[in-house]
Chains A and B, each alone.
Chain A
Amino acid sequence: MKTYTCDAVIVGAGPGGSMAAKYCAQGGMDVILIEKKAEIGAPLRCAEGVSKSWLDEVGIKPDSTWIRADMKGAIIKSTKGTTYQLDESKAGNEVGYVLERHLFDKALARDAANAGAKIMMRTSCTGIIREDGKIVGIKAKSMGEEIEIRAKVVVAADGYESQVGRWAGIDTTLKLSDIDSCIQYRMCNIDITPDYCEFVIGSAAPGGYIWVFPKGEKVANVGIGVAGHLCKKGADAKYYLDKWIAEDPRFKNGQILEIMGGFVSTCPGLDSAVDDNIVLVGDAARIIDPITGGGICHACRTGMYAGQVLSECNKTGDFSKKALQPYEKRWRDRMEDKLFRNWMAKEKLATLDDDTIDDIIKMVKTSEISNVTVYNLLKAIKEKYPKVVEGFEDLI
C-alpha cells in the first residue's frame, strides 16, 4: 500500500481546512491537504452570505474574483409580512458580501498551496490509523487506490458530516433539536430587491429562516433551513420553501437553475474540539452561529488558530490533548460566549408564535438602535420582552 508521510494531514479543503493548511505550512510544517471531491468548492452547499468584519482578522483580503455582490443592507421579515429594512449605516460590518463560494474556496486552497501545502484531490478519508492506541495518521482512498497518510497530527475539517472526529473517538453527535436541514434554489427571473439580503422568520420556516441572497440582477439564492422536530408531520424543508415561494408574487416568473441541500448544526460547539493528535475545526467541530447558521468565518478563524497552535506544537513534537489546549482557549475566548448566547436565543425564538415575532419586528422598527447587531437587537428585546431572553439575560 502506498504510504505518505507528513507533519499534519488535513481532511477537507473547505475554508477551515485550507486556512489550517496555510497556517501550518507557514509555520514550517510539512502539510498534506486532502479533498474528497473532484473540485474544491463544488458542488455548492451554502447560501453564500457573509459579513465583512472578520475577513481582516483572519488575513483574507476581499477580492473581486470571489465577491459576487456587495450588500447595502438586510431586510428582516415576519411570516405575517412586517418588514424591517436595515441599511449599512445602521448595520455596519454585519452587512456583507454574497460570495462565489466555489471561487472563494479555491482562492483559500491556492493560498495554502502557495504557503507550501500539498493538495491531494479526489482523496477521501476512510478511517484513522492508531498504533498502541495513538493516532498516527489516516486511511484514505485516492483516485480509487487505498493509501495511508502518516502524520503527527490529524486536522478534521470534514464539515457538517464530521466523521473523522467520530472515527477518532470524539463524539460530534448532534441532538435533533440542534440540527437544521436546508434546501436552496438558485433562482432567476425574480423581482427581488438587489443589494439587500432578506431573512424571513416565523412559521414559514419552523426553527430556522428563509433567505433570499441576491446574486446579481434578478438572480438569488433562495433557501430555507428548518428544525426537523418543529416541522409538521410529513413536511420537509422543500415543502416549506415551495409553499413560501408559491405565495410570493415576486417569484411568479422565477425559474430554478440549481437545487442544493445541506445541513447546519445549531449548538454552541463541541465540549472539546481536540484530543491526542487530533484537532477539529469549523463545522466539523460544530462551531457555527446557531442563529444565522453562518459557518465560514468560524471555520476560517478556527482553521487559522489550529494552524498557528500546531506550528507551535511542532517545535517540541508534542501534539497531546494537553499541548493542544491553546487552540481550545483561543476559539473559546473569541467565540464561545456569543455562540452560547445565540444558541439560547435560537431555542427561545423557536418557541415564539407569529404574532409575537411580528410585534418584536415592529418594536425594533420603532426603536432607535443605531448599530444593529444580533447583540443590540437582543438588548432591545430584553427591555421590551424580557421573557424572550429569560435564562441568558446575563449574556446580554
Chain B
Amino acid sequence: MIQVNVDKCLHCGGCVGSCPKNAIYLNDFVLEFNSDCINCGICVKLCPVAALTKV
C-alpha cells in the first residue's frame, strides 16, 4: 500500500500521470489510490518531495 503524507504533498499530479496502472486520482488536494495499485513504488521513487511511502 502507498501512504500519502498530506502535509508534504504539493498536489502536482505527477504520480497520477506516472502510474503504470492508472490507479491514482487527484481529487483537488486529495490523492486517491484504487484497487488497481500493484504497489510497484514508481510514484514513491518519482515524488519530488518524498510525500509517498510504501507501507
Distance of A168 Cα from B15 Cα, bound (Å): 20
CA gap between A265 and B13 in the complex, in Å: 13
Query: Nearest chain-B residue to A183 (Cβ)?
Result: B48
Closest chain B CB from A8 CB (angstroms): 23
With both chains docked as a complex, state the minimum distance between the C-beta of A320 and any C-beta of chain B, in angstroms: 25
Q: Are A263 and B50 in contact (CB under 8 A)?
A: no
A267 at the binding interface (Cβ < 8 Å): no
Q: Determine if B42 and A261 form an interchain contact, defined as CB atoms under 8 angstroms apart.
A: no
Question: Is the pair A166, B22 in contact by a Cβ cutoff of 8 Å?
Answer: yes
Residue B1 lies at the interface, judged by CB distance under 8 Å to chain A: no
Would you call A353 an interface residue if the criterion is a C-beta within 8 Å of the partner chain's C-beta atoms?
A: no
Whether A58 is near chain B, meaning CB under 8 Å from some CB there, is no
> When the two chains form their complex, are residues B50 and A161 in contact, meaning their CB atoms are under 8 A apart?
no
A166-B22, A228-B45, A259-B10 known; A236 and B50 CB under 8 Å? yes
Task: State in angstroms the CA–CA spacing of A259 and B7 once bound together.
Answer: 13
Residues in A neighbouring B20, C-beta threshold 8 A: 173
The answer to whether residues A236 and B26 also contact, given A43-B11, A161-B17 and a CB cut-off of 8 A, is no
Do B50 and A262 touch across chains, with their CB atoms under 8 A apart? no
Judging by beta carbons under 8 Å apart, are A183 and B49 in contact? Answer: yes
Given known contacts A163-B22, A176-B42, is B48 in contact with A237 (CB within 8 Å)? yes
Q: Which A-chain residue is minimally distant from B22 (CB atoms)?
A: A166
When distances are taken between beta carbons in the complex, the residues of chain A under 8 Å from B45 are 176, 228-229
Chain B 1-39, CB-CB to A under 8 Å as 1, else 0, gives 000000000111110111010100111100000000000
Tell whether, in the assembled complex, residue A174 and residue B18 are in contact, meaning their CB atoms are under 8 Å apart: yes
Q: In the complex, are the beta carbons of A261 and B22 less than 8 A apart?
A: no
**Which residues of chain A come closer than 8 Å to B47, judged between CB atoms?**
181, 236
Residues of B within 8 A of A238 (CB): 48-50
How far does the alpha carbon of A179 sit from the alpha carbon of B16 in the complex, in Å? Answer: 12
Select B48's contact among A160, A163, A174, A236, beta carbons within 8 Å: A236
Q: For the complex, is A139 an interface residue (Cβ under 8 Å from B)?
A: no
Contacts of A259 in B (CB 8 A): 10
Beta-carbon contacts under 8 Å, A133-186 to B: 159-163, 166-167, 172-174, 176, 179, 181-183
**Please, how many angstroms separate the alpha-carbon atoms of A167 and B16 in the complex?**
13
Complex CA distance for A27 and B38, rounded to whole angstroms: 44
Interface residues on chain A, number (Cβ under 8 Å): 30
- A179 touches which one: B13, B18, B49 (CB < 8 A)? B18
Residue pair A260, B46 in contact (C-beta under 8 Å): no
Residue of A162, A163, A229 contacting most chain B CB atoms (<10 Å) = A163
Closest to A261 in B: B12
A265 CA / B45 CA spacing, docked (Å): 15
Contact A160 to B10, CB < 8 A, known contacts A181-B47, A236-B47: no
A163–B13 Cα distance when bound, in Å, is: 11
A110 located at the interface, meaning its Cβ lies under 8 Å from any Cβ of chain B in the complex: no
Give which listed residue, A163, A173, A181, contacts B16 with CB less than 8 A: A163
Q: Are B48 and A161 in contact (CB under 8 A)?
A: no
A330 in the interface (beta carbon within 8 A): no
Nearest Cβ distance between residue B53 and chain A, in whole angstroms? 12
25 A–B contacts from the bound complex (CB under 8 Å): A37-B28, A45-B12, A159-B13, A159-B17, A160-B13, A161-B13, A161-B17, A163-B16, A176-B45, A176-B46, A179-B46, A181-B14, A181-B18, A181-B47, A182-B14, A182-B48, A236-B48, A237-B48, A259-B10, A261-B11, A261-B12, A261-B49, A262-B13, A263-B12, A263-B13
Binding site for A on B (CB under 8 A): 10-14, 16-18, 20, 22, 25-28, 42, 45-50
Given contacts A163-B17, A181-B46, A228-B46, 9 further A-B contacts (CB under 8 A): A37-B28, A163-B16, A176-B46, A179-B18, A228-B42, A228-B45, A236-B49, A238-B49, A262-B14
